Amino acid sequence: MEPFPSDRIQLPRNMIENSMFEEEPDVVDLAKEPCLHPLEPDEVEYEPRSSRLLVRGLGEHEIDDDEEDYESSAKLLGMSFMNRSSGLRNNMSVYRQNPNGSCSVPSTRTMVVCTVVLVIAVSLIMAIYLLPKCTFSKEGCHKKNHTMELIYPLATNGKLFPWAKIRLPPDVVPLHYDLVLQPNLTTLKFAGSVKIVVNIVHVTWKIVLHSSGLNITKATITSAGGHQAKPVEFLEYPLHDQIAVMAPEALLVGQNYTVNIEYSSNLSDTYYGFYKISYKDENSKQRWFAATQFEPLAARSAFPCFDEPAFKATFLIKIKRDEKLSTLSNMPKKATTPVTNGIVQDEFFVSLKMSTYLVAFVVADLKNISRETNGSLVSVYAIPQHLNQVGYALNTAVKLLEFYQKYFFINYPLEKLDLVAIPDFQSGAMENWGLITFRETTLLFDSNTSSARDKKLITAVIAHELAHQWFGNLVTMEWWNDLWLNEGFATFMEYFAMEEIFPELHSDEDLLNLIFKAMMKDSLNSSHPVSSAVQSSEQIEEMFDALSYIKGASLLLMLKHYLTKDVFQAGIEVYLHNHNYGSARSDDLWDSMNEITNGTLDVKKLMKTWILHKGFPLVTVVRKGKNISVQQEKFLYRVEPENWTSDASYLWHIPLTYITSSCNFTHCTNAYLLDQKSAVIELPEEVEWIKFNVDMNGYYIVHYAEDWKTLIDLLKKNHTALSPKDRANLINNIFNLAGLGKESLEKAFELIDYLNKESSTAPLTQALFQLSLIYSLLEKKGEQQLAARVMHRIEHLLGDKIDQQRWTDDGTLSERELRSTLLAFACTHNMRNCRTTATEMFEKWMKSNGTMSLPSDVMKAIFTAGAKSSNGWEFLLKTYSSSVSEAEKSKMIEALASTEDVRKLIWLMQNSLEGEVIRAQELSHIIATVSQSLPGYLLAWDFVKENWEKLTRKFHLGSYTIQNIISSSTSQFATKAHLLEVKSFFESKSEESSQLHCVKEAIDTIQLNIQWMERNLAKLQELL
C-alpha cells in the first residue's frame, strides 16, 4: 500500500514475533482431561482488563462443601471438577468426630499433611497472582470464602466465547473460499454468502474466524464427502472481530469441512472494507461507486474469513450487479449470467493462493484502455470523463511490468493486471493482486495541468504497487510485525526501477529527502524497530509509517551497495523462489542472501543489528595524518532524561563508505565494516579531506569533529568535488548535529553560505527545508523580527536563483521541479517580485473564466497568490467544483488552504471532513497546509481536538492519515503550555489513543522544539 499524502514518510520491542503459530504459554492448566469440549483446556487464559467482559464463575458465591456449587462452577469453566471435588470433600474431615459427638485431636500425620497442603495452596495463589495477563475482581471480599476468578470472554448472546486471544487459533486453516456478493447501489447495502473449505490441523469442536459488522443470518457445516449441511451454533465476540462456529461433533485432524455462512451489511461510509463513493458524472448527476480497501484488517467487514496474512487460500468470487454497471475483481471474468430482471451475475476465475487483505472488487460505471505484454493484459480504468487521462499510466505500467519480470526472473503470474482510479480513496494506492486501486491524483495524468512533480508521483506510485505483485502478493510477510518486508521492499524497488527506466526523473533525490525525514522520526525516543511485535488493530495500523516504508527501503539500499548489485539481485531471486505463494519472516530474507554469500558474510548477523533496534548510529570521524579514527554511538535527541531508554552499549554493524581528495569518483568508493564501538582506518596516504556515507547510501549520520572546517572550505572553493547527494547529506548532518548540541548553529549556517553557487535540486531543497523549520518555529513562538531575519538570509542565499526562474514549463524535469519549489516558496513568503507576477497571471486566468492555459509547474504558485484575495479564493473554490483535472484540483486545494482568512480556513477543514464539496481524502493535506501559516496553526489543532471522535471514526485510530493529522497539527508548538495541552488532551482520550506512537512522537517533537529554542534563540540573535 502506498501511503498518502506524498510526504511519505508501538511500544518498541527488540524481539520479532516469530510466528503466527507461536502460542503464548498457558497461564493455568485447569484441566488435564483430554475431553473434546467446545472450550478446550489449552485455550483457557486470563483476559486483559481492557476487554469489556462479564465476570462469572468461582467467587460469585461462597465455596462450600456443597457438591452443586462445585458442579455449576465446573460447568461454567468448561471442565469437570467432579472427581477432584468429591476427593476433596472426602478429605475435609481433618477433625474426626467421636461417636459421642465430640472432636478428637488431629493426628501428627494429619497435621503434617495439612501444613504441606497449605504451603502448596499459598504458593499457587501467589504464582497465579504474579502471572501476567491476569485480572482479578476489584469489588473486594464480600463473603468469607471469596476466591479470585477467571475472566472469560462472553459472546454477544451471553454464552462463553471459546477463544480469548487476538490472533486466531492454529487448529483450522482455510483452503478455499466461494464468495457471492450482491451490492445494491440504490439502498447502499449488500448481501453475501461464503463457503469456506477448511482443513483441521488439531482436533477441535470450534472454528474461530473473523467477522466485523456483518449481520449473519445462517451458518452450516458440511463434512468432506458429506452431502447434508448441518446447522451450527455460532457465537460472536465483537471486541476481537471474531466469530466461533460450534461444530455438532468433533472435527477430525486431516479432514476437510465446508463452513457456509449467509449475511448482510451496509456499504461502509469510511475508507475501509467494502465502501461506497459518490461522484458527479459528465452531466453533474450524482452516481454511486463501490470499491474495497482491505489492508490491513478490513476483509472481515466484507465477508467472514481468516483475516491474517499467513492464512492464504484460493478465492472464487461471484458478484451480482445492475446490468448497466461493470465489475472487476482480482481475476479475469469467466462468465456473466442473468439472475433476475436487470440483474446479472459476474463469475471470476479461481484466484491464486493469496492473503485475504489482497482480495478486491469494484462495482461501478468505468471505461478503460488496454495493452497486452508477455501474455498479460494490462488495463487502466477510470470514470468515463477521465478516460483521456489514463494514457501515461498505461505506458508506464507496461514498462515497469516488463522490467520487474526480467529483474526477478519470475513472470507476473496472472493473465491480467487492472489499474483503477477511485474517485475517493484514503491512501495513495493499494496493491490488490491483479486489481490495483489508486487515488485519482496518483494515476491520472493530464498533459495540460499535470506538473513535472505530478508525473514523478504517478510513476513512483505505479512502480511501488507493481513491485508489490512480487513483494507482498507472491511472497507475503507472515505477520504484521514484518510489514517492512512488503513496504520497505516495494519502496526500495520503486526507486530502483525508476532510476533504471526513467533516469530523467532523478527519483533518487526524492528518496534522499524521504530518508532525511524518516531519520527525524527515528531519532526520537518514541521511535520503534523496523520489525516490532504488534497485536492490536491500532498497533498494526501504526506499522504503516515512515520506518516500515522509508527506513526499510534505506536498509535494503545500504545492503545492496555493500553486497554489490549482482549478489543482492541473486539473493532476492532465491528469496522469491523459496517462498512463492507462501509467507516469510525477516530471517528468511537474510537466509536467502546467505545462500549467495556462502559464508563470506553473515548477512543475518549484520542486518539484525538494524531491524530489531530503533534509531540509528552517529559515527564520529577524527583524522590524524593517514589514520582515521571512527567511533559509533546512538544518535538520539534526549528530551526527557527520566523517560530516556539508554542504548549506550548497543552496536550496529555499519557498512561505512568513504571517498577522499585523492580520488572522489564513484568507482573510488572505499568500504569498511564497523562492527565494534571504535576502530582506526589506515589510508595509503595523507589526504586533504575525507567524506563518509557516500551519496547517503548508508543509514547513519556522520560528525566530522575538527574536519567540518575542511569540508566547509571545500564547498566554498569547489563544491562540485562532491556529488549533489553528498552535498545535501552534509547540509542535513550538520543541522541535525546542531540540534543535538554536538555542533554549533553558526557552523551550520557557515556551511550553507556556498549555496548562491548551487544549482542542483537535492542540496537546495534540503537547505530550504532546514531553514524553513527554523523560520516556522520562530514565527509560531512570536519571534517575528528574528523570523524575518531568517527569511532575509534565505533571500540572500537563493534570491538570484529565484530571479532566474521562468514562468514556463520548459527545461529538464529536474529543473522544472526546482522551479516549482522555489517559486511556490517565494510567493508564499512574498519574496522578490514573485507574488506580483503570480497575481497578474492569476487575474488573467480568472478573467478568462479559468479557460486560459497556465504553466503546470508554476500553477500552485499562481493559485496560492490568487487565493490571498477574497475574490480570488471564491473563484478558485467555484472552479474546483467544476474541474475535471485531479492534478489541477490538488493545486487548488493547497492554495485554498493557504489563505489567511480564519473563517475560510475553518470552513475548508469542516467541509472536507463532511466530504460534501471537498472530499475527506483531502483533509490531512488541508490540515497540514493550514498548520503552516501563523493564523492557521492554532486553528488546525483546535479543529483536531473538537473533531477527534469523527476523525478516528472516519480514518481509524493509528492509520497513516491520523498519524499525519496529529503530526502536522502539533509539530510547530514550542511552548510548555502547548506541551501540557497536547499531553492533557490525549490523556483524556482512550488508552488506545494516548498510547499511539504518533502521539508520543508529537510530545517528543514539542519537547525537542522547546529545547531547541532554549539552546539556540540567543545564538540566532547574534548570528542573524
Residues 898/864, Cβ–Cβ less than 8 Å: yes
As a whole number of angstroms, the distance between CA 676 and CA 609 comes to 12
Provide CB contacts within 8 A for 419, sequence distance 6+: 378, 379, 380, 381, 393, 394, 397, 436, 438, 443, 462, 465
Coil, strand or helix: which one is 642? Answer: helix
As a whole number of angstroms, the distance between CA 881 and CA 793 comes to 40
**Gap between the terminal Cα atoms of the chain:** 44
Q: How far is CA 418 from the centre of its chain?
A: 24
Residue pointed to by grid coordinates 572546517: 709
What nine digits make up the cell of 605? 548477523
Q: Among 229, 292, 296, which residue's Cα sits nearest to residue 265?
A: 292
User: Cβ of 195: how many Cβ atoms within 10 Å?
Assistant: 17
Residues 738/703, Cβ–Cβ less than 8 Å: no
Residues 183/319, Cβ–Cβ less than 8 Å: yes
Q: Which residues pair with 631 in a beta bridge?
A: 620, 678
Give the Cα-Cα-Cα angle 937, 940, 946 (nearest 5 degrees): 140
As a whole number of angstroms, the distance between CA 546 and CA 260 comes to 41
Instruction: List Cα–Cα distances, 900 to 210, 809, 867, 868, 905, in angstroms.
Output: 48, 29, 9, 7, 8
What nine digits make up the cell of 334? 469467466
Q: Is 573 exposed, middle or buried (0-12, 13-18, 19+ CB in 10 A)?
A: middle
Provide CB contacts within 8 A for 280, sequence distance 6+: 286, 287
Provide CB contacts within 8 A for 44, sequence distance 6+: 26, 27, 28, 30, 31, 77, 78, 150
As a whole number of angstroms, the distance between CA 35 and CA 90 comes to 25
Residues 362/291, Cβ–Cβ less than 8 Å: yes
Residue ranges with strand state E in 880-1004: none
**DSSP at 179:** E
311: left (phi over 0), alpha (psi -120 to 50) or beta: beta
1001 is known as an active-site residue:
no
Q: Among 534, 530, 524, which residue's Cα sits nearest to residue 487?
A: 530
**DSSP at 982:** H
User: Is residue 296 reached through a cis peptide bond, with omega within 30 degrees of 0 on the bond before it?
Assistant: yes
H-type alpha helices, 375-482: 391-408, 452-468
What nine digits make up the cell of 428? 495513495
Coil, strand or helix: which one is 471? Answer: strand
Residue ranges with strand state E in 360-510: 361-364, 367-373, 376-382, 416-422, 429-430, 435-439, 475-477
Provide CB contacts within 8 A for 116, sequence distance 6+: none
As a whole number of angstroms, the distance between CA 903 and CA 919 comes to 19
149, 295, 465, 886: the catalytic one is 465
As a whole number of angstroms, the distance between CA 195 and CA 172 comes to 15
Amino acid at 476: T
Residues 937/931, Cβ–Cβ less than 8 Å: yes
What nine digits make up the cell of 803? 530571479
Residue pointed to by grid coordinates 510567493: 827
Q: Among 921, 831, 949, which residue's Cα sits nearest to residue 424?
A: 921
Q: Which residues are catalytic?
A: 465
